[in-house]
Every structure is written in structure tokens, then in C-alpha cells.
Structure 1
Amino acid sequence: MIICKTEVLHRSSGTRQTMRPLYKHPRKGQKAPQDPATKTAALAWLRHDGRTAGLLATAHQHMDLEQHLRAALPAALQSSCHVLRFEDGQLTIGVPAAAHSAKLRQLAPRIASSLEKRGWQVNGIAVRVQATLSRPLGGVVAPNPVGRPNQIGSPGIQAFADLQDKISDGPLAQAVARLVARRRET
């Protein structure tokens, strides 16, 4: 990284002093670091207004609670559970699927006691399934490349052929037979 220096002439003493800026200019191909002053200015503005100050306090509270919630959850559920609301001791957790919801309802008493040990007064836990939580952060799910359908390997085709031999005649058997025939042709 290239560091820019600035010389400053002090009016009172007449001496020159070299000062370094708060940030460094990036080299080619690197992202420019964000100036920390812009973050603090935005936070100061949010704290200044009465309505946004409450919003900022709620956001901080939810972030802290979500961090403690993740510490109380099993490793498999930590990345998929999010705090949606916390009002009057009632915690609402958002999950991406019904399976997560069922598991959290089983773990609710243990989670509540763990959060109480960490200083949170949790009287109840509600779980809401939200399909949008299963999407990546960009919100866009990458489709298969155009012209390339999902491929079934030879072990998969053999498994379908074995299944075809085991099921009785009917619509399912016909569909499996068409699938096996189509995949063996390619």
C-alpha cells in the first residue's frame, strides 16, 4: 500500500511537520479502506434524532441477543437462526425451514435458561419460518448454467434402474423407466 504524507506548516511556530492521513491508498486491484470518520458520522446522526436513536438501540440489542443466542444453540443451528423481535420478554426467532422450527421448539427451555444466565429476561420463545432466510445474502439463487441440466452420474442411474425392478407397474414405474432410458441414451 502507498501511504500519502502531508506537510503542515504551523502558524505559531513556523515549523513544518509531516502528518500521515487516517487511511492508506490501496494498490491497484485492492479495495479502498473505508474512512472510519464516515461510520462515526453516520452513527452520530442516528443517535442525534429521537426516532432513529431508538432504532439504533434496538438494532444493538438484537445484535447482542443474536450473539448470545448463537452461543446457546447447537452448532448445526447457529448460522440459520436470527432474532426477529424481542419485546416484553418474548423472543421471536426466524428460521428458514420447518425442520429448524421443530428442533428449536424442543430446545426452547434450554435456550431460555441459557439466555437468562447471560442476563436476558426471556419469558417465552416463538419460532417463525421465513423462507427468505434460506436464500444467500444477495437474495439471488444462481440457476443452472443454460443448456446444462442437472446430471445424474452412473451410480445414480444404476440406483434408479434397481428401483425400477423393485416397484410395481404404475405411473411411478413408468416415470422411473423413462428417466433411466433417457439417461442411458446420453
Structure 2
Amino acid sequence: MSALRLTFGIDPGLTGAIVTLLDGVAGPMIDMPTRRVDGWGEIDARALAVFIREQRTAHPGAYVSACVEKVGAMPGDGGTSAFRFGETSGGIRFTLDVLGVPYTRAIPAVWKRQFALIGKDKDAARQLCLQRFPEVAHMLTRKKDNGRADALLIALYGEQQVGGRESAAALQPRACARVCGEEAA
């Protein structure tokens, strides 16, 4: 059955992930696709685009959106590290723009407060996702799957933000025309 609404949650960074919510239910997810260029790791924008296109193709006519964690340089990061992290974040947003996927940004302190994660360790998000989304427990078995858990909660946060403004049914015809490049019925 085709979903009416696809929401991608993206935890940027080379150890992040991208997760799909299908009408609020956890769906396909992948660790952030990366590649090596001149000895440096960077996101593989092509693989990211392929994943998004596959999900969109599997659910024709669905309203598609994304929520990307709004990131910045961390105190103590060197200039090179901060620049490379910015490149990664920009590459993700550029990929969404090229694909015509509207996105919002989630400030870490805000989305984490929404899920009572402020002041908790990195594994708390994974534990919360295991309770909230038991259907994907097999994808969250390792402690290092915290990027997937963060992306899942970012998607849920983004969906709640969009859901508060307009329903998916009201958005569907207009969104499909804008996102899929098709004529609205």
C-alpha cells in the first residue's frame, strides 16, 4: 500500500543516517552514504539521491518532505573540521533542493527537548526509538546506531511540525505537482 506522506529525517555528518517515515511509521533507513575522495570521507550525494528517489517511486503521489538537523561547529573544532562538517550539511541540503524535496531544519536542543533527551547520553535516543518503533528494532541493535535513532526522531519531529500546520491530505495534490514535477489532478 502506498503511503500518503513520506518524511525523511536526516542526521547530517559522516556517521549520521537518513530515515523514512511512512505515514508516521518507521520505514527504510540507511547510514549516511559516504565515499573517499583524496583520502577524505565525504557524503555520497548520488547514493543519497538514489535512496530518496527509490522511496518516492515506491509511494507515487505521496507528499514528500524532510527534516534535517541544523548543525554548527562545535567548540574546540578546528577550522578544517568545521569546514568539512559544513560541506557535508550543505551537500545534504543541496541534494534535497535538486530533488525538489522541501525541508525544515531541526535545532538539536529543540527536537531533543521535545523527546526529553536533554542531558541524556547518546544512547537514550536509541532506547526511546526501540520503545516507540519496535518494528525497526533490528536496525537499532548496536550502540553506534544512534545516528539512525537521531534521524528517526528528527523525522518524527519534522512530521509533527508540518502536521500541526496542514494535513497530508490537503497537501497531497499541490505537493505532488511541486515535488514530483507533475500536474496536480
TM-score bin (small chain): under 0.3
TM-score between both structures, scaled by the size of structure 2: 0.21
The structure where strand makes up a greater share of residues is: 2
| Larger relative contact order, structure 1 or 2 (CA cutoff 8 Å, min sep 6) | 2
- From the CA coordinates, give the structure whose radius of gyration is larger: 1
